A and B are shown apart, each in its own frame.
Chain A
Amino acid sequence: MPENKDVALWVEDHTAYLWRLANRLVRDKTLADELVQETFLAALEARFEGKSSPRTWLASILRNKAMDHFRRMKAAPVSLDDYFPVGEHWSVDTVPHEWPHDTAADSERLHRLLALCLERLPQRLRLLVGLRYEGNKKGGQICKEMQLSTTNYWQLMHRARLQLRACIEHNLQD
């Protein structure tokens, strides 16, 4: 077990880093706060063997906490009918259009909308996207860590991407 005074020092040195990581994973400031708190509480009880830096070690605790959180969340039904209502094809309302992408302002707008639309994803999908892209992992790894079947994983990522894309396009039109 790490000495309590070490953990107190770590709070000084690593809280900002851990919070940024947490927020990248969950895109929810309150939940990010909670995850960082849980991480330090767990650190107090765990054994730090000094095989990696304290920061790396704390980050791995945090990732595990985020995954626990994912596993506890209820799955919302995955339905594709919103996007492909007739014969599994796009409808007039959902069919993708080209996005303007010529100017720096266009790409800045896209960045901003992505952040906004990520926040609007259901929490479980948002967390899945966060875990997928934060460490840039492949699907197979994530399935193992999150105890998801591969079919289920692809369904969820598919759904998340459809929703993100639609949200961005919807807001581009305003």
Chain B
Amino acid sequence: MMLQRIDISCARATLLIEKQLDNNVTLLQRLRLRLHYRRCPPCETYARQAGKLAQLLRQDPPADLPPEHLKQLQQDIKTLLGKKEKKEGQNL
């Protein structure tokens, strides 16, 4: 009964898990989480998966730019820059 009263909700637990990924929890909060996991294995699963996602997000390779798209983009930028230069020339 006592345990029930001091246990945190899953909404609160997953927020603390988020902070824990940033090393942003107090010792007491860490203990609260451990206690919560005993009563709620799904939140422990969530914590593991959240950590896995963080790890994947850090190493996630960026998508590549297809060569033809790159050429088009470079062309567009040069046109934009050219226009801007011309406009500024007129203002002088």
CB within 8 Å of B: which residues of A?
A: 4, 7-8, 11-12, 15-16, 19-21, 23-24, 29, 33, 36-37, 40-41, 44, 80, 83-84, 87-90, 95-99, 110-111, 114-115, 129, 132-133, 136, 138-139, 154-155, 157-158, 161-162, 164-165, 168
Contacts and interface: CB of A to CB of B under 8 A. Distances in A.
Given A84-B9, A97-B45, A114-B57, A41 B80 contact: yes
Chain B contact residues: helix, strand, loop or mixed: helix
Interface of B: 9-12, 14-15, 18-19, 22, 24, 40, 42-43, 45-46, 49-50, 52-54, 56-58, 60, 62-65, 70, 73-74, 76-78, 80-81, 84-85
Given A16-B65, A138-B22, A157-B18, A40 B11 contact: no
Contacts of B74: 11-12, 15
Given A16-B70, A20-B64, A165-B53, A88 B12 contact: yes
A contacts with B: majority SS: helix
A157 B57 CA distance: 13
